[in-house]
Structure 1
Amino acid sequence: MKIDMFEMDKTALMVIDVQGRLAQMMHRKKFLIEQIQIMIHAAKLLDLPIFWLEQYPQGLGETVDEIKQLMQDIKPYEKISFSSCGQQQLLTDLRSSGRSQLIVTGIESHVCVYQTVLDLLDGQFQVAVNQDAVSSRTKANKNLGMARMQQAGATITSTEMVLFELMRTAEHPSFKQISKLLK
């Protein structure tokens, strides 16, 4: 199976359900939050659209402040289905964005991230799951989610790998800023 390189004009970032107390229970929580922050900063530098999801915020709480503060100019999509694709407005907006490649971040890798990725693949999107920027409450569930998404056809990537893939060259106008984010 040929894997296409991710390209800036085809790519968007998705941030799924990094909310409330659940976010505080994630395996390697601090690292997870830092990696999602880097991805949001980089998406803005690279002019990638960001699709931000919240699972039933009235019950689970809002997105954690460290991430929410970086997306004040974006409105979250509220959902009750585990898959983000159950949110019809999201699907409409994804299609109208013209973006066919999605970098997925968020929680939990074996539930909402997993189900979203399967539905995105079903919808003919190319999906890269950033292993640095997804998690579950246990390492075992994170690993299971990652394995199942890869078996389904998702590309597994890392923060550094996908950002350098998008820029392609050290001559990219955002190279120095992105490099600083990664240090």
Structure 2
Amino acid sequence: MLTTDKSVLVIIDVQGKLAQVMQQSPELHKQLGILIQGAQLFDMPILWVEQLPDKLGGTTEELAALLSKTTQVIPKSYFSAWQSPEFQQQLARLNRTDIILAGIETHVCVYQTCQDLLSNRYNVHLVADAVSSRTVENKQLGIQMMTQLGARTTNTESCLFELQHQASGERFKSLLKLIK
């Protein structure tokens, strides 16, 4: 079960024009926004990476505005975030075992990051409604490849309610406002 003290949210490459041509881009951005704000509500750390930002552009404005409240972007040149020494260092400092993984593209950067995280003994929880690819087939295949490797699939609401654990308190009320 996910807990706030063992989890970290990882946001992969939701950048520039590419983010706009993902399947169901508006819904993807909505779910990512909820997920980011939920992690912030739980005071959970977020690792935010961008693939070659000088060439692909930065994270979409709405998500960058949310993310920049609590975290700094980590630029990378490899498809897998794990291959970035800065990513590995920040993750090691957090001393967390559960990775909540979201972003684009499902079958490339998200998949390769997932593969490396699993190989390094992290538990990966793939947020299926907060990942996307340019085609539905590539998204579905990416999710399938990650689950075959051992990633667990979840969705934004299930993930946040699992982190919340109980249906009471001020944080629960704030969470309900966030998802509605």
Task: Tell me if 1:147 matches 2:140.
Answer: no
3-state SS of 2:106 partner:
coil
| Alignment map for 1:102-121 (pairs within 5 Å) | 102-121=99-118
Structure 2 counterpart of 1:47: 43
**Matched ranges for 1:90-101 at <5 A:** 90-101=87-98
- Note the 1:133-144 alignment, pairs <5 A: 133-144=130-141
Cα deviation, 1:83-142, whole Å, max 9, x if unaligned, reads 000101111110110111010110000000000001000111101000110000000000
Higher alpha-carbon deviation: 71-80 or 145-154: 71-80
After superposition, what is the alpha-carbon deviation per residue over 1:8-38, rounded to whole angstroms, capped at 9, x for unaligned?
1000101100000100110000000000000
Percent identical pairs in the alignment equals 44
Match of 2:164 in 1: 167
Q: SS state of the match for residue 78, structure 2?
A: coil
**What is the CA-CA distance between 1:173 and the residue it aligns to?**
3.7
Q: Confirm or deny that 1:158 pairs with 2:145.
A: no
SS at match of 1:81: coil
Unaligned regions of 5+ residues in structure 1, if any?
A: none
In structure 2, the CA distance between the partners of 1:45 and 1:144, relative to structure 1 (3 Å rule), is: same
Q: TM-score, normalised by structure 1?
A: 0.96
Residue 8 of structure 2 is matched in structure 1 by: 12
Moved over 2 A (4+): none
Please, which moves more after superposition, 96-105 or 136-145?
96-105
Give 1:172 deviation, angstroms.
4.5
SS of 1:82's equivalent in the other structure is coil
TM-score, normalization: structure 2?
Answer: 0.97
In the other structure, the counterpart of 1:177 is: 174
Q: Which amino acid aligns with 2:36?
A: I
Report the number of matched residues: 179
Segments of 5+ residues of structure 2 without an aligned counterpart are: none
Cα deviation for residue 171 of structure 1 reads 2.0
Q: Could you report, residue by residue, the CA deviation over 1:45-94 in whole angstroms, capped at 9, with x for unpaired residues?
A: 00110000000001100000010011223211000000000101111110
Tell me which amino acid in the other structure corresponds to 1:19: Q
